[in-house]
Chains A and B, each alone.
Chain A
Amino acid sequence: AAGVIQSPRHLIKEKRETATLKCYPIPRHDTVYWYQQGPGQDPQFLISFYEKMQSDKGSIPDRFSAQQFSDYHSELNMSSLELGDSALYFCASRIYGTAGLFFGSGTQLSVL
Chain B
Amino acid sequence: SQQGEEDPQALSIQEGENATMNCSYKTSINNLQWYRQNSGRGLVHLILIRSNEREKHSGRLRVTLDTSKKSSSLLITASRAADTASYFCATVNTGNQFYFGTGTSLTVIP
Contacts and interface: CB of A to CB of B under 8 A. Distances in A.
A106 B42 contact: no
A101 B38 CA distance: 13
Interface residues of B, number: 24
Interface stretch (A12-20, A40-48, A66-74): A40-48
A99 B8 CA distance: 11
A58 interface: yes
Contacts of A102: 3, 100, 102
B98 A42 contact: no
Among A3, A42, A58, max chain B CB count under 10 A is at A42
A103 B42 contact: no
Interface string A73-112: 0000000000000001010100000011111011000000
B105 interface: yes
Majority DSSP secondary structure for residues of B touching A: strand
B43 A42 contact: yes
B81 interface: no
B37 interface: yes
B41 A101 contact: no
A101 B98 contact: no
Among A1, A33, A88, A92, max chain B CB count under 10 A is at A92
Interface in B85-102: 86, 88, 90, 97-100, 102
A44 B42 contact: yes
A45 B98 contact: no
Interface of B: 1-3, 9-10, 35, 37, 40-45, 86, 88, 90, 97-100, 102-105
21 contacts: A42-B35, A42-B42, A42-B43, A42-B44, A43-B43, A45-B43, A58-B42, A90-B98, A90-B100, A99-B10, A99-B86, A99-B104, A100-B102, A100-B103, A101-B102, A103-B98, A103-B99, A105-B2, A105-B98, A106-B97, A106-B98
